[in-house]
Amino acid sequence: MITYSIIQKSQLEGALRLDAEYYQPEYLKLISNLKTQKSKFIGEIGQVAYGTTPSGGVFEKEGVPFVRSQNFSNLVVDTSDLVFCSEKFQKQNKKSAIKPGDILFAAVGATIGDLAVVQDEIKEGNINQNIARVRIIGNTINPYFVGFFFASRPGQLQIERLITGNAQPYLNSEQIKSFIAPVLPMEEQNRFRSYFNEMQKELENSKSLYSQAENLLLEELGLKDFEVEDDLVYIVNLSEIKSAHRADAEYFQPKYEKLIEKLKKCGASPLLDLAQNVAAKFNPKSQLAKIFRYVELSNITSSVGTIDGFSEVSGSEAPSRAKRVLKLNDVILSSVEGSLGKVALVGKEQEGYLASNGFFQFRSKDILPEVLLVLAKSFVLQMQFEKQTAGTILTAVPKEAVKNIVVPKLNKSTQKKIADLVQKSHEAHSKAKQLLEQAKSKVEDLIKNK
């Protein structure tokens, strides 16, 4: 059935937009509904600012928290994967400084539509150029309510409608200022601060339980205090270079061998003895009309190793890299340097999803999948994968290099304790997601009833 709208010339937004998608009936109905009730443009109630990235993209090991859209998780900023900028940079970029209650919109690229409200634990910080910060001015609008509204269907439709650009989609400041937010009685708006606090509490509980699982693993392996630094000078025999078929200095950093020696004391086994390296062979083009749920790097919550999103694509439109079919308890790990920490355990709801061949996909044979997850996210395997990365333009771990990864042995009792903690962590994370969905539904109900 064809969907169409008849638009008067006077309605063509000053002839700034002539594309048919902009005038879809669903968008027009939403805007009409919002304008018939009490509402405000973001430009009327808030200040919009975009960030920037430190020169050369170089971050500090500590300092002022620097937020990127990859840190957005269930409407909060995930602090486990933050980088930092200097105090000097912060002073030079006060216009994009953030504080608790600020609303952050992903405004460039594949993450458009994601957003977060800065939580109380981030006293100050800054953002990169792909994020728009909205700071609500005055006391007639609760920023937490606005955050939930734009995470809900009515808010997402406005974002979807205003996205522009072809090669790289984006939202500019004028578009964000034109977003419409409903104005409800403050008593109703203020409830959403409580929803946010409950959600954040579950997310913190999830991270705490996961941290306990990792600490238990490292203590059992005697690696809790394991620290090594890059050596500036070291000697490598020619025979080692010939054997490895590599001559790059990074590969032969002594820190990697120090880790392997530690693991061998624990009775290390090849990873492929304990888990299958699942090949990426699926071809979605064989089912052109089927709609698939597709997982990419941006859908991974790296703090606790969960998959928290997907995009829908038909078999005919699926990207060529969508070659993996996920199964319950698979562990997927990014093969690309710079995102090796994107590791996740496939849950029941992700059974049958597609994933990029930019991931490794491991299926447990003689190790609990939760334990494999914790190992893969910890430096125990991260350092080993880091060592194996190769390439120039796109540095990644070659698929054949997996045979060089070793895994320390853990007794069944310890594995069970680790698995229990991970399961509880993921249950808390799932509860936070449920709270988010409940709050979004509450927003939609309030708007419909006005």
Of 186-200, 232-246, 349-363, the least confident? 232-246
Contact predicate 406/268, CB 8 Å: yes
425 within domain boundaries: no
Residues 43 and 159 in one domain: yes
Tell me how far the alpha carbon of residue 374 is from its chain's centroid: 18
Q: Distance (Å, rounded) from C-alpha 406 to C-alpha 384? A: 8
CATH of the domain at 143: 3.90.220.20
Residues 272 and 336 in one domain: yes
The string of pLDDT tens digits covering residues 170-205 is 899 999 999 999 999 999 999 999 999 999 999 999
361 within domain boundaries: yes
Burial class (CB in 10 A: 0-12, 13-18, 19+), 19: exposed
Residues 124 and 235 in one domain: no
Which residues share a beta bridge with 48?
134
Residues 143 and 259 in one domain: no
Domain that holds residue 319: 223-265+267-408
Burial class (CB in 10 A: 0-12, 13-18, 19+), 57: exposed
Residues 29 and 177 in one domain: yes
Q: How many domains does the chain have?
A: 2
327 within domain boundaries: yes
172 within domain boundaries: yes
Domain's final residue, options 181, 205, 235? 181
Which residues share a beta bridge with 345?
331
390 within domain boundaries: yes
420 within domain boundaries: no
Residues 44 and 158 in one domain: yes
Q: Distance (Å, rounded) from C-alpha 290 to C-alpha 286? A: 9
The string of pLDDT tens digits covering residues 136-150 is 998 889 999 999 999
Which residue in the block uniquely carries the two structure tokens 């061949």? 357
Residues 134 and 255 in one domain: no
Q: Which of 434, 450, 447 is nearest to 202 (CA)?
A: 434
Residues 247 and 159 in one domain: no
Residues 242 and 364 in one domain: yes
For residues 141-153, b (16+ Cβ closer than 10 Å) or e, as one string? bbbbbbbbbbbbe
449 within domain boundaries: no
Contact predicate 359/330, CB 8 Å: no
The string of pLDDT tens digits covering residues 77-136 is 988 888 999 999 999 999 999 999 999 999 998 788 899 999 999 999 999 999 999 999
193 within domain boundaries: no
Amino acid, res. 274: L
**Top-confidence range, 108-117, 233-242, 299-308, 345-354:** 345-354
Residues 231 and 83 in one domain: no
User: Does residue 253 register a pLDDT over 90?
Assistant: no
Which residue in the block uniquely carries the two structure tokens 């042995």? 409
Residues 404 and 315 in one domain: yes
Q: Which of 419, 438, 440, 372 is nearest to 146 (CA)?
A: 440
Residues 139 and 281 in one domain: no
